[in-house]
Amino acid sequence: MSSYFTGDWFADNYIMTTILNNIDFYCGGDRVRMMTKNKRKAVPKSVGGSMLYGLTWRSRNSDTKTKKLDEETGLYMTKIKEEEPELEKIFREFAFYYFHNFKWSQVQINKNYDCPPHRDSQNIGESVLCCFGDFEGGETVIEYPTKTATVNAIYEPIKFDGSKYIHYVKPFKGTRYSLVFFENYDLEKRKKKNK
C-alpha cells in the first residue's frame, strides 16, 4: 500500500515538490567546483543547491565533521542521507511507480541548480532524470553524436547516459527541482571490496 504517491504522474509531481520544498538545500563540494570550473557562481543556500543522497567512500564532511558509517557496506552516509533518512523510502516508492526495473544507488538532488555542460564521469550507464516544481524553461539539453535533444523531465522521467553525453540545463524562471537516479562506478567498486 502506498505511503506517499498515487501512481498519477502529475499528482505525484506535486507531492514530490512539496516534499523537496521542506528540505534545507546546500551545494556539495563537487558541485561548487563544477560551477567554479565553468566560471559560474555557486547557488546561494537561500536559493537552492545540489547535494548527493546515498553512500560515499569519503569519511569526512569537513576538517571538523565526520560522516556516519553504514555498517552493512562499510561506506559512509552523505550528509543529506543521515539528516533525512525518510527520503530513502520516498525515493524507493517513487522509483517503484515510474522506473521499477532501473537499478540505482544514489540520487543527485537539485534545487534551482542551473547545471553547466558536463559528463557524469563516475556514473555507470544510464541515469533517470525527473523534474518537479513551478518553473518555465529549464529543459535539459543532451548532446548526442548526431543530434542535440532538448527534453523536459517535468512531464515524465527521462533516461539517458550522462556518462557518455554532455548535458546541461537551460535557463529557467521559478523554482525548479530535479532528481537524478544513478549508479556510481567508484561506489560499486568499493562496496564489493568491503564485502
CA torsion 60-64-68-73 (nearest 10°) is 30
Tens digit of each residue's pLDDT (9 = 90 or more) over 163-190: 999 999 999 999 999 999 999 766 655 5
**Burial (CB count <10 Å: 0-12, 13-18, 19+), residue 56:** buried
pLDDT value of position 34: 65
Domain 9-194 = CATH 1.10.150: no
Scanning the structure block, which residue is given the C-alpha cell 565526520? 66
Quote the CA–CA distance of 135 and 172 in Å, as a whole number.
7
β-pair type (127-137, 106-111)? unpaired
Per-residue pLDDT of the chain (195 residues; tens, 9 = 90+): 458 999 999 999 999 999 999 999 987 766 666 666 666 666 767 888 999 999 887 776 666 677 788 877 788 889 999 999 999 999 999 999 999 999 999 999 999 998 889 888 778 889 999 999 999 999 999 999 999 999 999 999 999 999 999 999 999 999 999 999 999 766 655 555 555
pLDDT value of position 21: 96
pLDDT value of position 72: 79
* Residue 138 CB contacts under 8 Å (≥ 6 apart), including other chains: 131, 152, 154, 169, 170, 171, 172, 174, 176
Quote the CA–CA distance of 119 and 177 in Å, as a whole number.
20
* Residue 164 CB contacts under 8 Å (≥ 6 apart), including other chains: 119
137-166 in b/e form (b: 16+ CB < 10 A) is ebbbebeeeeeeeebebbeebbebbbbebe
- As beta bridge partners, residue 60 has 66
pLDDT value of position 68: 82
Long-range Cβ contacts of 96-101 (<8 Å, 24+ apart): 97/5, 97/7, 97/12, 98/9, 98/12, 98/130, 98/157, 99/128, 99/157, 99/159, 99/181
Residue 170 backbone phi and psi in degrees, to 5: -75, 160
